Structure 1
Amino acid sequence: MSLLLCIVVGIIIVALIVGLYEKSTNAICTSKKRLDGKTAIVTGGTTGMGLQIATDFAERGARVIIACPFKNEGIDALKYISDKTSNTDVVFKILDLSSITSIREFATDVLNIEKRLDILMNNAGVGAVREFITDDGMSFIMQVNYFGQFLLTLLLLPLLNKTGTTSDPARIVNTSSVLHNFGFINIHKINDIRYWFPVQFYANSKLSVVLFAHELTKRLKRNNVVVNCVDPGMVGTGIFRSVGNILGGILTMIGFVLFKTPWLGAQTAIHVALDKKAGEISGQLFKNCKLTRAKRSAYNDKIAGELWNTSTSLVGLSSEAMEKCFQ
């Protein structure tokens, strides 16, 4: 047997083992909670897991704001959700997490129009795409998967604080990944596209969102907002197409067959957004609708603090602006 054939067979065997594990550990959100009168934002809510999450919230009666950078995709998703749920209070807004200007415009629009914000689902993300430095001077993967979410969350924090109560806190849910276990935080190289491979940037970004939840929990002065992270597991979504149409299509097909569907992948995020006990803790990671633990460094106060300070500088949040975020 040739070396190449051995490698292919090995990959298939590993994929089957992982796939069987994913299938055997699937968990479904069992909450019957209604969301009438509540408002939820789902970034990346126009496709994949985000579309499933947004549809679930709409079925529960929420006002749902779906956000993505692509107008046609947003219009199609809006029609899909409205037709499936008969909820007419679903809105699509443009949001490009790779642009600080777009994030600020989106946040300003929300703060000016919306009276409340009960759930912020930071679901949007990109895979190990070809890297480049954005106009804002950051790694594209890091900005979309972490820095953009960092800025968006803080800009919307005043409305979340206003909405949440101690008995029914507003909830922020960040999408992490099992690959956060392979992530590293090197502040001096955090956006260096010559230092990291794209897949490493992806892992770093997913570790960053867990560190963000840990640090934000420490800084929240009131307990009417909680922030937690979810590991959806291996999910067959369009994110695999980031490696190219042909290979991405093959990986997506394999993902659908062996791993979780987008609906199954969305279940933990929905659970964390709705479950009563999940609303009583903050700064934690969930998988398969259960509380779990991230890698040890995800709870390191020093690393989390350094990442926070670097992030505020990179997204242009002054100390005065930061104070307003926490009001």
Structure 2
Amino acid sequence: MSVILFIVLIVIIIALSVALYQKMTNAICTSRRRLDGKTVIVTGGTAGMGLHIATDLARRGARVIVACPFEDEGTNAKKHIVKETGNDDVVYKHLDLGSLQSVRQFAADILKTEDRLDVLLNNAGVLVPGDFLTSDGMNFIMQVNYYGTFLLTLLLIPLLKKTGKPGEASRIITTASVTHRVAKIDIENLNKTNYWKRYEIYFNSKLCIVLFAHELSKRLKGSYVIVNNVDPGFVGTRIYDSANKTFGSIVTSASKILFKTPWEGAQTALHAALDKKAGKVSGAYFMNCKRIQAAKQACCDKTANVLWEESIRLVKLTEDDVEQFLQ
């Protein structure tokens, strides 16, 4: 029994040491930049980390558009942000990244109603809710986390290019994950069901996000639009509930204590959206408000280009469409 107690004590000491180290090293966005007259979109900006990001940007005076597929959540988020910040220029719009039609409708609405877009923050995503195909014929996790974001970003590039100017580029920020480092790129099988473990699909989707930013940054070179990745770390949000409600609650609580709260997880995205130096680089990877190196496989030009071509096909775009967006 004494041996068991000793082991438990050691585990507790290690856990507390990890928690202390994490809390001491979690970086905070220090920018005091105002965003009056600017427009930002935060996908998944209605809950968890995204809600903290949207609230912070609204507090800085931006016109904030939050997007998610759940009307009640979106409406409540809008009310919360307005109440917290005193900024009435907050809009909720419906967006289901698991539907190409929804993405196209959302983008068309934005292009019709907005005259500028300074920051597109692609924050929305799912963990492991299920391994099935959407009506568009894509794996659900892959479509929500990657393909939907891929299409949305390309459709909004004309407005981002219209807004960006010398010394103040428009910014595209994609939420990546440390798990991209252990993912596998198997282009032919990315969308298969009953092929990968669900957590592997999530890992793969995050690697695709980083590869997308790598390729897009090259194609946007010379324009006043930049694209960067942010790695929030392990954050205690409801995303873990999709694995199992009980498991999700435990992991969420543990993540908040040992790693990051949603507010702490939001800081690197805010840094990428606001920091002056971060606004001068493209294709970069940020973690804890610092630029670090992404995984080697996420920086492969050949892989990124093959994935780009396959993604264009799957979201039903043509090369002419893409050229028109990027011109």
Distance 1:105 1:11 in 2: 51
Which amino acid is 1:114 matched to? E
User: Is 1:325 matched up with 2:321?
Assistant: no
Which amino acid is 2:186 matched to? N
Which amino acid is 1:270 matched to? L
Distance 2:9 2:94 in 1: 44
In structure 2, the residue matched to 1:177 is 177
In structure 1, the residue matched to 2:273 is 273
Q: 1:319 to 1:31 in 2, by over 3 A?
A: same
The answer for unaligned runs of 5 or more in structure 1 is none
Which aligned pairs between 1:209-220 and structure 2 lie closer than 5 A?
209-220=209-220
Share of identical aligned residues, percent?
A: 58
User: Is 1:262 matched up with 2:274?
Assistant: no
Distance 2:309 2:22 in 1: 37
Distance 1:295 1:15 in 2: 27
Q: CA deviation at 1:137?
A: 0.8
Contact 2:131 2:194 (C-alpha < 8 Å) held by counterparts: no
User: Is 1:192 matched up with 2:196?
Assistant: no
Contact 1:22 1:234 (C-alpha < 8 Å) held by counterparts: no
In structure 1, the residue matched to 2:157 is 157
Which amino acid is 1:104 matched to? R
In structure 1, the residue matched to 2:83 is 83
The ranges of structure 1 where at least 4 consecutive aligned residues each deviate by more than 4 angstroms after the TM superposition are: 4-18
Q: 1:10 to 1:93 in 2, by over 3 A?
A: farther
Distance 1:51 1:37 in 2: 20
Q: 1:184 to 1:17 in 2, by over 3 A?
A: farther
What secondary structure does 2:91 align onto?
A: strand
Considering only aligned residues, what root-mean-square deviation do their CA atoms show, in Å?
2.0
What secondary structure does 1:51 align onto?
A: helix
The answer for unaligned runs of 5 or more in structure 2 is none
CA-to-aligned-CA distance 1:142-191 (integer Å, 9 cap, x gap): 11111110000000000000000121000000000111111111011111
Distance 2:14 2:220 in 1: 42
In structure 1, the residue matched to 2:95 is 95
Q: CA deviation at 1:256?
A: 1.8
Q: CA deviation at 1:221?
A: 4.6
In structure 2, the residue matched to 1:28 is 28
Distance 2:203 2:12 in 1: 23
Distance 1:209 1:46 in 2: 21
Contact 1:233 1:287 (C-alpha < 8 Å) held by counterparts: yes
Q: 1:9 to 1:130 in 2, by over 3 A?
A: farther
Which amino acid is 2:222 matched to? R
Q: TM-score, normalised by structure 1?
A: 0.95
Which amino acid is 2:276 matched to? K
Q: CA deviation at 1:22?
A: 2.5
Q: TM-score, normalised by structure 2?
A: 0.95
User: Is 1:226 matched up with 2:226?
Assistant: yes
Distance 1:274 1:108 in 2: 26
Q: 1:89 to 1:192 in 2, by over 3 A?
A: same
In structure 1, the residue matched to 2:54 is 54
